[in-house]
Amino acid sequence: MQRLNGKTALVVGAGSIGPGWGNGKATAVTFAREGAQVFCVDRNLEAAEETVDIIKAEGGRGIAFAADVSRADEIEAMVAACVKAWDGIDVLDNNVGIAETGGVVEVAEADWDRVFAINLKSAYLAMKYVIPIMQRQGGGSIVNISSIASIRHLGISYVSYAASKAAMNALTRNTAVEYAKDHIRVNAILPGLMKTPMVAHSAGLAASYSGGDVDAMWRARDAQVPMGHMGEAWDVANAALFLASDESKYITGLELVVDGGLTLKVN
């Protein structure tokens, strides 16, 4: 069953920072496999093109586009290009994010601002320009990728990341209420500890966990999860598929935790 057949999906952060499957890349491919035509956006055009190549090799439809999603003019151009190509937008998946380690004393002001611009401002801008299109169409689904760091401390200090994702939850809830009357659903996914290229390439996380040893970091993160292992990008992609599809047509303002039970633990 193709659950997104005939729909246009705009995936922001559809590339991957390194080899393997990031959440956005897996989501874009999953949407395409379920019948959507996918507008794949990434700051790195080559990364977006790699995702589109996979989609096309499987017989799907995709377009790659480069944008700095912290800039309003580039977001506006991104949305306009998607609409020009495919006449509308049925699904928006906001999947960009970076993590900087450190508490409020250690984090530089410039790093704080950069994390909020990429993690939060990007979602605000994307929704700002996409929602009017969905209103004219009569509805749509927006999926914002947050984190369980927004609701609990994970033993690693990255306050700017956690704060930006907590703000995304509030942004999601408020927007969900305000546009429910327009049949626009807005939900958030809160991934737990995931084994993705972004985590592998975060020197700060590896240093905090294991003195820079990535393999040791993977083992430590696996041990934290009640299921005994981290999640993978496909777990986030499948959750996003549910929220993007009509199967969740009566769900809005949800914070869907995808964490292998981690947030159920006391410590």
Place of tokens 């401390």: 153
H-type helices in 138-202, by residue range? 159-179, 197-200
Residue 65 phi, psi dihedral angles, 5° rounding: -150, 140
Tell me, what DSSP letter sits at residue 264?
A: G
Is 250 catalytic? The answer is no
Long-range contacts of 179-182 (CB under 8 A, 24+ apart): 179/131, 179/134, 179/135, 180/252, 182/131, 182/134, 182/135, 182/138, 182/139
Q: Strand 140-145's sheet: what is its strand order?
A: 61-66, 37-42, 8-12, 91-94, 140-145, 184-191, 255-258
CA distances from 7 to 20, 125, 130, 229, 259 (A): 26, 22, 15, 34, 28
First to last CA, the chain: 41
**Selection from 148, 164, 141 nearest residue 27 by Cα:** 141
Locus of tokens 């807005």:
186
Phi then psi for residue 24, to 5 deg, are: -70, -40
- Point out the catalytic residue in the list 129, 161, 179, 209: 161
Other C-beta atoms lying within 10 Å of the C-beta of residue 155 = 11
Closest CA to 189 of 267, 122, 244, 230: 244
Residues that are catalytic = 161
